[in-house]
């Protein structure tokens, strides 16, 4: 599917170039549009919708950067940037003429009187979901921070016992979704850590909230955000096998203690791989959430790039860990946290994801930036 979307976007770009050189009716314009429509039709045959996301100068589909991003930066990306378009969603039922209309709109002068979209294509900006995406369901239940923590404890216990807590997971994720949807500032919704024994569970709920918010901000679909949130809530489930005296140690861990601590990624993945009803991405995130982009961290992934969901949870995990009190240090202020995260930009964390997280999710800006 990645190759098909790559082909579709390249064809749309070729159509733009053909229109400029030869006009709309020339075969050099019409044929690329036909090729784009053919590729999109195959993609939409496998799903009702297909969304591409522009993250700065990259275009992503299904959490993966399109192979031809460098070529797309010649024509398509500049047009999207000029119009402020950060995602395009194609719906099943798309007609060839709608692609022609979409290109017409992208070629016009940007302005409020020039909306971009057709009956089966929509566009928008990251962090601003399509209308109705946050409509609260009648069955939705908002859990307090303490209730979320208690719910997560029950879920972890069920997983350890070999059960599949589908309903409880769905309820908890829905509550977190509402937290993100109704909260003006995600940071204000995070629970306070009152004692160290509660840290792992409170921290994990916070990571779930932050991850869900970043998933929304990069334009993930509702289903992708759901799976990401579940993965975030379960990313530390392997710590059930880590002794409390290691989890809460006030001083530096010895080598043997550190090895036991680092095993929680493997233990978590092993637990989740055996449980039905857990999204496929959950064991991946449990295994990878301490792996850095440059190959450092743990486990060692070699040259492999961590999954997008793992990268999101990694950022949320480090942010919340730094901003809360721990046995070995006091919580850091937002400026310190921002500085530490930015030191890892491009090495530990994806630069685009981190910038979006700081600017739109936790809203921790540099002193020189306007609030």
Token digits of residue 180: 């993100």
Start and end residues for every CATH 1.10.3210.10 domain found in the chain: 145-361
pLDDT confidence of residue 95: 87
Which residues, including other chains, have CB under 8 Å from residue 194's CB and lie 6 or more apart?
202
Rounded Cα gap, residues 263 and 353, in angstroms? 27
Tens of pLDDT, residues 124-179: 876 544 433 333 333 445 677 778 888 888 888 888 777 777 667 877 887 787 66
Q: Is the dihedral of CA 338, 340, 342, 345 positive or negative?
A: negative
Assign 3-class secondary structure to 235-259. Answer: CCHHHHHCCHHHHCCCCCCCHHHHH
HSE-up (13 A, CA, CB side) for residue 52: 29
pLDDT confidence of residue 128: 44
Q: Compute and round to an integer the Cα radius of gyration of the chain.
A: 22
Along the 371 residues of the chain, how does pLDDT read in single tens digits?
A: 889 999 999 999 898 888 877 777 788 778 988 998 999 999 998 877 888 888 767 888 887 888 988 888 888 888 888 888 888 888 888 888 888 888 888 888 776 566 788 888 888 876 544 433 333 333 445 677 778 888 888 888 888 777 777 667 877 887 787 667 655 456 655 766 555 557 788 888 889 989 998 998 888 888 888 899 999 999 998 888 888 888 777 778 889 998 998 899 999 999 888 887 788 899 999 999 999 999 999 988 888 889 999 999 999 999 998 988 776 677 788 888 999 999 999 999 999 999 999 988 887 666 555 44
How long is the chain? Answer: 371
User: What spatial distance separates the first Cα and last Cα of the chain, rounded to whole Å?
Assistant: 40
pLDDT confidence of residue 139: 40
Among candidate residues 323, 317, 360, 326, the one with its CA nearest the CA of residue 338: 323
Token digits of residue 55: 């993250």
Q: Which CATH number, 1.10.3210.10, 3.40.720.10, 1.10.10.10, 3.20.20.10, labels domain 145-361?
A: 1.10.3210.10
Token digits of residue 349: 């964390």
Burial 166-180 (b: 16+ CB within 10 A, else e): eeebebbbbbbbbbb
């Amino acid at each position: 599917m990645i190759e098909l979307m790559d082909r579709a976007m390249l064809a749309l770009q070729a159509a733009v170039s053909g229109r400029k050189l030869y006009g709309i009716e020339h075969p050099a314009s019409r044929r690329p549009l036909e090729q784009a429509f053919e590729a999109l039709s195959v993609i939409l045959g496998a799903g009702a919708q297909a969304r591409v996301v522009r993250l700065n100068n990259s275009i992503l589909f299904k959490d993966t950067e399109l192979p031809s991003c460098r070529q797309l930066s010649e024509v398509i990306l500049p047009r999207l940037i000029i119009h402020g378009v950060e995602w395009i969603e194609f719906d099943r039922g798309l007609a060839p003429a709608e692609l022609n209309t979409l290109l017409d709109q992208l070629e016009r002068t940007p302005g409020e009187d020039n909306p971009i979209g057709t009956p089966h294509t929509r566009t928008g900006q990251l962090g601003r979901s399509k209308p109705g995406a946050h409509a609260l369901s009648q069955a939705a239940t908002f859990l307090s921070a303490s209730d979320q923590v208690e719910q997560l404890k029950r879920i972890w216990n069920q997983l350890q016992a070999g059960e599949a807590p589908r309903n409880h997971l769905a309820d908890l994720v829905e509550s977190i979704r509402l937290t993100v949807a109704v909260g003006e500032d995600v940071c204000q919704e995070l629970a306070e850590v009152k004692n160290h024994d509660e840290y792992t569970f409170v921290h994990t709920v916070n990571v779930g909230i932050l991850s869900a918010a970043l998933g929304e901000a990069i334009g993930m679909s509702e289903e992708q955000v759901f799976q990401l949130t579940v993965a975030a809530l379960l990313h530390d489930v392997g710590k059930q096998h880590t002794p409390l005296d290691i989890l809460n140690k006030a001083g530096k861990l010895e080598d043997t203690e550190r090895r036991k601590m680092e095993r929680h990624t493997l233990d978590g993945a092993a637990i989740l791989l055996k449980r039905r009803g857990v999204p496929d991405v959950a064991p991946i995130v449990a295994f990878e959430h301490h792996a850095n982009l440059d190959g450092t961290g743990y486990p060692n992934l070699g040259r492999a790039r961590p999954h997008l969901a793992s990268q999101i949870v990694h950022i949320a995990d480090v942010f919340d860990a730094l901003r809360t009190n721990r046995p070995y240090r006091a919580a850091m202020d937002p400026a310190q946290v921002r500085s530490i995260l930015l030191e890892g930009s491009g090495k530990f964390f994806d630069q685009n994801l981190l910038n979006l997280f700081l600017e739109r999710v936790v809203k921790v800006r540099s002193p020189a930036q306007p609030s």
